[in-house]
Amino acid sequence: MEFRFSPEEEAFRQEVREFLRQEWSEEATEGGAESPLGYGGGRGLDEIRRFQKKLAQKGWLTLAWPKEHGGMGASIMKQVIFNEEMAYHRAPQQLGVGPDRVGPTIILYGTEEQKREHLPRIANAEVIWCQGFSEPGAGSDLASLQTSAVPDGDYFVINGQKIWTSLAHVADWMILLARTDPDAPKHRGISYFLVDMRTPGITVRPLVDMTGRHAFNQVFFDNVRVPRKNLVGELNRGWYVAAATLDFERSGINRVMAGIRLYEELVQYARETERDGRPLMADPTIRHKLAELKIEFEVGRLLAYRVAWIQSQGRIPNQEASMSKLFGSELQQRLARAGIEMLGLGGQLRPGSKWAPMAGRIADYYLASVSTTVAAGTSEVMRNIIAMRGLGLPRG
């Protein structure tokens, strides 16, 4: 079977490329742009926000949202093309989790009041959202979370802690999971809330990752009062709302496309660089490894396209999203290892060193890739989902 984009879709791809040539100079982006946390490399927050505003003005932040909710009603494949080009050109597709996770979740499960209040502000790039799911004792086993939400009149009072919360230090709002029925089975006593980060009682503390960047945070809740109207979906049924959010998170093609760009640069480096008097590409071990990676990137791309097709049918991908996430995140690590081995000792040099091959991108990518098989669900969790929901195997 041969897959082709329509002439209209290819014209849109060219439109996105021309926009990026005018509005996003890659020369200003140094290292880390391929990182799962690299939302613009060396760019400052204000510059990235201005770029987001330009995307919002074109309607590209919410391409595939329904028109009645502030989107363009574009096809899922147009959204895929946009995601591909943004990732390939190392441009920040969005800031936070509003357009790809929060918005679609509110469209599915939110009240009319929640839609009126939050969807336009996401579509116009007015707010930054973060995701408060993981806790120190609840990551892979997310349903073990202990942050509590106790009803008190027209409010819930929230106490607890979240961790690995990306961009919480700059976020305006958070989607948060909290336990509302401590006596229910762990998957059934959880509720899903929208939390204003300016609410009294919220404390954000930075977590600096091994690349030296501050994107992660710890967030503490001390008697934080959240209005009942901010409950998304049914009380104690938030696990099922969260499952949809996670499926949206795991289904993107971004991790594959960012890797393809770095792979192409690695191939060029192998062609142009000599070692012991001959090009690196003359080494059969290097040629074979690059050939294997090329095939794997094509597989990763097709897995992501399959997820997009399922979404185009009006369904939420589940095991398919897990397959794409699992393969894509582990492929990132395989690419990083291959790059470090190919570049030798120089591959460990970070951006900023004049001796660093490929401007230090491989070193940064290698460090950042460590978290890819943990963030958004560990590889073990992904394999369990594929086994149980995809293959119908019994729970281990």
- Partnered with residue 158 across adjacent β-strands are 149, 224
Q: Is residue 310 part of a domain?
A: yes
**Is residue 185 classed as helix, strand or coil in its secondary structure?**
coil
User: What does the DSSP 8-state code read for residue 387?
Assistant: I
Instruction: Assess whether pLDDT exceeds 60 at residue 1.
Output: no
172 shares a domain with 79: no
- What does the pLDDT read at residue 33? 40
User: The tokens 């948060």 sit on which residue?
Assistant: 176
Where does a domain end: 237, 265, 299? 237
Identify whether 102 is part of a domain. no
Domain shared by 182 and 88, yes or no: no
Of 121-130, 244-253, 285-294, the one with minimum mean pLDDT is 244-253
pTM of the model: 0.89
**77-91, 160-174, 237-251, 322-336: least confident range:** 237-251
Contact between 29 and 41 (Cβ < 8 Å): yes
DSSP letter, residue 208: E
Can you give the pLDDT at residue 246? Answer: 78
Query: What does the block give as tokens for 172?
Result: 């305006």
Residue 362 belongs to some domain of the structure: yes
Instruction: Reply yes or no on whether the pLDDT at 384 is more than 70.
Output: yes
Average pLDDT over residues 205-217: 91
pLDDT in tens, 132-174: 999 999 988 899 999 999 999 999 999 999 999 999 999 999 9
**N- to C-terminal Cα separation, the chain:** 36
How many domains are there within the chain?
3
pLDDT band at 251 (very low <50, low <70, confident <90, very high): low
Return the minimum-mean-pLDDT range out of 180-194, 304-318, 371-385: 304-318
- What is the model's pLDDT at position 27? 57
CATH code for position 314: 1.20.140.10
Q: Which domain holds residue 44?
A: 7-95
The rounded percent of the chain whose pLDDT value lies above 70 is 94
pLDDT digits (tens, 9 = 90+) for 21-74: 999 977 545 444 433 334 444 568 889 999 999 999 999 999 989 999 999 999
Half-sphere CA count of 345, side-chain side, radius 13 A: 0
Q: Band the pLDDT of 244: cuts 50, 70, 90.
A: confident
What was the pLDDT predicted at 150? 98
Instruction: Report if residue 107 sits inside a domain.
Output: no
| pLDDT tens for each residue of 69-121 | 999 999 888 988 999 999 899 899 899 999 999 999 999 999 999 999 999 99
Assess whether 156 and 224 both reside in one domain.
yes
The helix, strand and coil proportions of the chain, stated in percent and rounded to the nearest 5, come to: 50, 15, 35
229 and 272 part of one domain:
no
In a domain, residue 383? The reply is: yes
Q: CB of 325 within 8 A of CB of 376?
A: yes
Q: Are residues 192 and 67 in the same domain?
A: no
For a pLDDT cut of 90, what percent of the chain falls above it?
A: 71
pLDDT at res. 147? 98
Residue 249 is predicted with a pLDDT of 63
Same domain for 82 and 140? no
Mean pLDDT of the chain: 90
CA-only gyration radius of the chain, Å: 21
Q: What is the pLDDT of residue 315?
A: 82
Q: For position 34, what pLDDT does the model report?
A: 38
DSSP state of 138: B
Q: What is the CATH number of the domain that holds 168?
A: 2.40.110.10
Measured CA to CA, the distance from residue 12 to residue 278 in angstroms comes to 42
Task: Identify whether 185 is part of a domain.
Answer: yes
pLDDT band at 258 (very low <50, low <70, confident <90, very high): confident
Same domain, 19 and 87: yes
Round to whole Å and give the CA distance between 116 and 118.
6
User: Is 116 contained in some domain?
Assistant: no
DSSP notation for 346-375 = GGGPPTT-TT-GGGGHHHHHHHHHGGGGTT
Q: Rounded to whole angstroms, how far apart are CA atoms 192 and 177?
A: 5
CATH of the domain at 16: 1.10.540.10
Cα–Cα distance for residue pair 120/56, rounded to 1 Å: 10
Residues 230 and 258 in one domain: no
Same domain, 161 and 83: no
Residues 357 and 271 in one domain: yes
Residue 2 within any structural domain of the chain: no
Would you name the residues annotated as active-site residues? Answer: 249
Q: Which of 44, 71, 95 is the last residue of a domain?
A: 95
Domain boundary among the residues 212, 237, 262 is at: 237
Please, which residues bridge with residue 162 across strands? 219
Say whether both 187 and 276 belong to one domain.
Answer: no
Instruction: State the pLDDT confidence band at 212, using cuts at 50, 70 and 90.
Output: confident
Q: What is the pLDDT of residue 105?
A: 95
Average pLDDT, stretch 375-388? 90
The DSSP-derived string for 154-196 is TEEEEEEEE-S-TTTTT-SEEEEEEES-TTS-TTTSEEEEEEE
Minimal CA–CA distance to 86: which of 37, 137, 45, 33? 33
220 and 267 inside one domain: no
Distance CA 97, CA 107 (A): 14
Query: Does residue 220 register a pLDDT over 90?
Result: yes
